[in-house]
Amino acid sequence: MKALACLFIITMILTGCGSAPTSNSDNPSQESPEQENPAPPEITGYVMDQKKDQILVVAPLEPDSESNPKAMWVSEAPKGRWVGKQVEVWVKNGVRESFPSQAEAEQVTVLEMSQVEGADLEASEALSKALMEIPGDKLLAVKLILYLEEEDKWEVQLTRIDSSNEDLETMIADR
């Protein structure tokens, strides 16, 4: 009987010492699976318009695509001048479906565009200037932003992504 009681106690001790997944929230060096593989941004695109704390982000126009690119009004954007910049946006509280869709920013990250050799302006500045020259609604998608070194100008090609799908082109002096 003593042997059976000892076997039972040893079994209970070994069962209690088994390995089970644990969480150590006191150790900040451990990353959760979400931190190791962060969720992709909800939208990556160019900021085409800005109103107070809202920015209109439109994904670039895909070649040979017959559908409109993704467009989203993002509220709670950090303060600053956003028009023309290429950004990634993570949202909180989901996306309200409309066109453009609407969401609240959790995080907005500016994507660095490389400096074009020989150009004084950055591509984001050229896009911003082009958008200032275009009247009306800024529901536009970027087709092309190209620096023409021999002319010292930027060629900016855009497409309206409303029912007209009108193509627009403007030349921006590089100064």
Averaged pLDDT of the chain: 80
Residues 86 and 122 sit within 8 Å (Cβ to Cβ): no
pLDDT (0 to 100) of residue 12: 39
Statement: the pTM of the whole predicted model exceeds 0.85: no
pLDDT (0 to 100) of residue 55: 97
Read off the pLDDT of each residue in 53-75 and give the average, rounded to a whole number: 90
Distance (Å, whole) CA 124 – CA 116: 11
Residue 163 amino acid letter: S
Read off the pLDDT of each residue in 66-95 and give the average, rounded to a whole number: 93
Is pLDDT above 70 for 135? Answer: yes
- Does residue 60 or residue 25 have the better pLDDT? 60
Token pair for residue 142? Answer: 């970027």
Closest CA to 172 of 157, 159, 154: 154
pLDDT (0 to 100) of residue 37: 40
pLDDT (0 to 100) of residue 163: 75
